[in-house]
Structure 1
Amino acid sequence: MSTQKLMPDLRAAIAASGLKNGGTVSFHHHLRNGDHVMNMVMDEIARMGFSDITVAASSLFAVHEPLVEHIRTGVISGIHTAYMSGPVAHAVTRGMLRRPAVMHTHGGRARSIESGALRIDVAFIAAPTADNLGNINGVAGKSACGTLGYAVADAHFAVCVVAVTDNLVPYPACPIAISQDHVDYVVEVPSIGDPAGILSGTTRATTDPVGLEIARSASKVIAASGLLVDGFSFQTGAGGISLAVAAELKQLMQDRRVQGSFASGGITGYIVDMLDAGLFRTLFDVQCFDLKAVESFRRNPCHQPMSASLYANPHRRGAVVDQLDVMILGATEIDLAFNVNVTTGSDGMIMGGSGGHADTAAGAKLSIVTTKLNAGGYAKVTGRVTTVTTPGASVDVLVTDEGVAVSPLRPDLLERLRASGIQLRSIGELKELAEARATREPQRPSGEARIVAVVEYRDGTVLDVVRMVS
């Protein structure tokens, strides 16, 4: 077999890949809102006359707005993703996509690819550095994004793999994150993206006094849980309040002289600071959420990469999420059964997705949801969430600006928090307070409206559906 993999351009690589109408192409999101590769590839696929293509992207952001036109013209007819926001999400909610989108968790995506439930014909991997045989890393080059954890399953299981790079280096590239034996073709382009787009508005700690008070309350819950001892493991989401909890936890761990075993997930500079301060022995990183994390991953061997499968695949031989002590989660809505929605707004419009939300809630010994009671005039604690993203059976505590509610499934935790003097309320009381303050009523889609997306749990079972908003 020829070892010549370097293609003159994307068109040549797509032609060589064997892609056909009705095929599935995949992309990873480590460049987040700075990604250029998905738009470049789909534009070329459209120019080549392909149609009925399914896009299996680990996440979709506002930068991917050009895909809306490809949906309108039928080039794209299906989407599989763990998260989507911006114009593509609006187009899907408005019913533009021919088939319902499939929204899964990060662990569920890896599971479906590895099991063959999601068959990828061609994976296009945005490679910050690559050599002519397809050895790839994310730590070198002008578009360095750090770890490439979400691309690993695609590289290992796609029928054909195309590395798209703007930093072609002499063979062999070093270090190697994805190796040449998993890559079929290499294409050099002027730019795969803007690494400044890795940092978005959802990856900064809140400075709002109410949000900071919620973060302090969450840290008190952790302190009272009995889990904050040497060997403690932790993950926080990327929401502003969740990140503020990390800052509170740092001080708490220093005061108690606790050294944790690991922190995990999408890693931010807040968690890097904790590693550098000796508060954790190591980090497991599936994606770098900011440039400080990229630099840490480049220089520090204790900042370790992990694939999405190692992170959260429920059907593999052990997932990192199953070793978590505490996970901090955000919420668009939470209901009386502790079900959480981070997929749609109160108006039913898709504005996010599970990502690792449901995976980590299921794995952690203590899953804490932090949220204000109200936002945008809406009550965030409600009778039933608009869309179930994470089932209430795996949520332990809700921390709000008006107190803390503990799941009835955790009477042990309730007693610990009560003994610590934490202000406790029932979830029903918090719902009444939230509704009394609300100035707007949710405008949820009709139960008769067409289904535009299916929300899968991490094991592939259906949790909920999203219906069209006209």
Structure 2
Amino acid sequence: MKNKIGREIPEEIIEKYEVYQGSFDKEILGRKASPKISRVKPGESKLIESLEDAIVKSGLKDGMTISFHHHFRSGDYIVNKVMDLIAEMGIKDLTLAPSSLTSVHAPLIKHIKNGVITKITSSGLRGELAEEISNGLMEEPVIIRSHGGRARAIEAGDIQIDVAFLGASSSDEYGNASGASGKAICGPLGYAQIDAEYADNVVIITDNIVEYPNMPASILQTNVDYVVKVDEIGNPSGIASGATRFTKNPKELLIADYASKTIVGSKYFKEGFSFQTGTGGSSLAVTRFLRNEMIKQNINASFALGGITKPMVEMLEEGLINTIFDVQSFDLVAANSVSKNERHQEISSTFYANPHNKGAAVNKLDIVILSALEVDTDFNVNVITGSDGVIRGASGGHCDTAAGSKLTMIVAPLVRGRIPTIVDSVNTVITPGETIDVVVTEIGIAINPRREDLIEEFKNLDVPVYTIEELKDKAIEVVGKPERIQYEDKVVALVEYRDGTIIDVIRKVK
């Protein structure tokens, strides 16, 4: 069976899941899930002597679901440390439900092979772990969910977390935990807050116990069962860099120039507009170019959203941005800003992007700048599988922000290496073309034909305008048409759209 965008979904998947039928077409039913009720009596301590004792007290058993967050990124020590202990304790058949996994989590391969981990749901996979899974390591397909989709799945009970192991750079003995103070700070814990609220058992893991109360806190004592102190929760240099570097790549700068001219030439660039940009070279350069234009035209932004970087903090402090909504900080400047700037607000992943609540922040976006590995002639976007078909990225908030924003812009080079970026059909659809408005390359832009208003508005834009088919043809002129990737029938991952329907599948690389 093919879903609405023409992706073939195997029959055995259709029997278990709904398939994608449109960005806002899924009917919403049911009530929010809830964790078990438990209590702590006066005088009882939540402090546990060791991580092993915390695992025992949490009641973790075979077949349960455990979760982690990815705010420590490539500096994370928590996931591997906990999983090694769980394996030593003989617990097996676990579902691993982190907000995302990175290249530092390659040691999980042995725990999949020995049966400790039998299922995974995550926003993304990278490195050796991703390669092994792409080559058929797991019997059960991994479920890829966006950040908003994961929050939705937890609130709906699709993901039922038995034990959440949540690292924090500081915590008091009662579980008020923060990522904004301590020696291994990461800033907001926006992706961990949903776990803390809905998991049956919550274990805070920290290397920094502070005096009660540890306020302001990202995770509150009312959601925490146990607190355990370890020597180190992560490598600060891997958690965040000290500064954000601007690109000097001429191609990326040209893409950023065209993107910023398109934004400034749109009806959305006006006093009080809102925006989100990414952390890639072109995206950061767009932020810089927009800043200059905002100063020139005396325009301020109402808010900036998403993963936050140094340039956005500087614009906040200059008064160019009124409020920052931060679900995750990407550098130390942003991480430190949360505790010193009252208009730098920490938010949860459900506030950020959950499509099934009463109003996520992405719904209020005017402009979002997103990257892509591939874009096809239907404007569908791939950000997860590489040119070899191997998983090497994450869904992240890509489809969430694209669906919510009034102007969704993809910035990408026409070719990457010797591989075209604009293609007939992408390897894997993460974000459907119906939610993409403009694609920007170093030779010009393409406007989605659905946006007749933008086609009319950009007639006199000082940027070359092509059809998406023309961009594809120009890419092929440069590097030729690549051979199609060969896949086997085995499905190694299911890609959920943010509403819980299956938008695509990823098959084992042949």
| 1:344 to 2:385 alignment | yes
The structural deviation recorded for 1:309 is 0.1
Q: Do the aligned partners of residues 46 and 204 (structure 1) sit closer, same or farther apart at CA in structure 2, a change above 3 Å counting?
A: farther
Q: Show the counterpart of 2:312.
A: 271
Q: How far apart, in 2, do the equivalents of 1:340 and 1:377 lie? A: 19
Report the 3-state secondary structure (helix = DSSP H, G, I; strand = E; otherwise coil) of the residue aligned with 1:219. Answer: helix
Aligned residues: 469
Q: Show the counterpart of 2:492.
A: 452
Q: Deviation string for 1:86-126 (max 9, x for gaps)?
A: 11111211111221000011000000001111001100110
Q: How far apart, in 2, do the equivalents of 1:245 and 1:48 lie? A: 50
Q: Where in structure 1 are there 5+ consecutive unaligned residues?
A: none
Cα RMSD (Å): 1.5
Paired residue type of 1:311: Y
| 1:155 to 2:196 alignment | yes
The structural deviation recorded for 1:449 is 2.3
Q: Deviation string for 1:39-73 (max 9, x for gaps)?
A: 11001011111111111111111111111111121
Q: Do the aligned partners of residues 278 and 138 (structure 1) sit closer, same or farther apart at CA in structure 2, a change above 3 Å counting?
A: same
What is the TM-score when the length of structure 1 is the normalising length? 0.97
The structural deviation recorded for 1:197 is 1.2
Q: Show the counterpart of 2:107.
A: 66
Q: How far apart, in 2, do the equivalents of 1:414 and 1:275 lie? A: 33
Sequence identity, in percent? 49
The structural deviation recorded for 1:203 is 7.0
Q: Show the counterpart of 1:221.
A: 262
The structural deviation recorded for 1:418 is 1.4
Report the 3-state secondary structure (helix = DSSP H, G, I; strand = E; otherwise coil) of the residue aligned with 2:445. Answer: strand
The structural deviation recorded for 1:207 is 2.0
Q: Show the counterpart of 2:509.
A: 469
Q: How far apart, in 2, do the equivalents of 1:469 and 1:243 lie? A: 34
Q: How far apart, in 2, do the equivalents of 1:334 and 1:429 lie? A: 13
Paired residue type of 1:406: I
Report the 3-state secondary structure (helix = DSSP H, G, I; strand = E; otherwise coil) of the residue aligned with 1:43. Answer: helix
| 1:358 to 2:399 alignment | yes
Write out aligned runs for 1:19-418 (5 A).
19-199=60-240, 204-418=245-459
Q: How far apart, in 1, do the equivalents of 2:373 and 2:434 lie? A: 18
Q: Deviation string for 1:310-346 (max 9, x for gaps)?
A: 0000111111000000000000000000000001012
Q: Deviation string for 1:426-450 (max 9, x for gaps)?
A: 100100011121267255232x420
Q: How far apart, in 1, do the equivalents of 2:108 and 2:361 lie? A: 34
Report the 3-state secondary structure (helix = DSSP H, G, I; strand = E; otherwise coil) of the residue aligned with 1:57. Answer: coil
Paired residue type of 2:414: L
Which segment is superposed worse, 142-151 or 418-427? Answer: 418-427
Asked whether the equivalents of residues 348 and 443 of structure 1 are also in contact (C-alpha less than 8 Å), the reply is no
Q: How far apart, in 2, do the equivalents of 1:250 and 1:32 lie? A: 28
The structural deviation recorded for 1:204 is 4.9
Q: How far apart, in 1, do the equivalents of 2:431 and 2:508 lie? A: 21
Q: Do the aligned partners of residues 205 and 334 (structure 1) sit closer, same or farther apart at CA in structure 2, a change above 3 Å counting?
A: farther
Q: How far apart, in 1, do the equivalents of 2:243 and 2:383 lie? A: 13
Q: Show the counterpart of 2:19.
A: none
Paired residue type of 1:25: I
Paired residue type of 1:247: R
Asked whether the equivalents of residues 346 and 443 of structure 1 are also in contact (C-alpha less than 8 Å), the reply is no
The structural deviation recorded for 1:392 is 0.2
The structural deviation recorded for 1:145 is 1.0
The structural deviation recorded for 1:202 is 13
What is the TM-score when the length of structure 2 is the normalising length? 0.90
Q: Deviation string for 1:250-295 (max 9, x for gaps)?
A: 1111111101100000000111111111111010000000001011
The structural deviation recorded for 1:466 is 0.5
Paired residue type of 1:270: P
Q: How far apart, in 2, do the equivalents of 1:62 and 1:211 lie? A: 26
Paired residue type of 2:472: K
Q: Do the aligned partners of residues 202 and 302 (structure 1) sit closer, same or farther apart at CA in structure 2, a change above 3 Å counting?
A: closer
Q: How far apart, in 2, do the equivalents of 1:79 and 1:335 lie? A: 29
Asked whether the equivalents of residues 205 and 239 of structure 1 are also in contact (C-alpha less than 8 Å), the reply is no
Q: Do the aligned partners of residues 200 and 60 (structure 1) sit closer, same or farther apart at CA in structure 2, a change above 3 Å counting?
A: farther
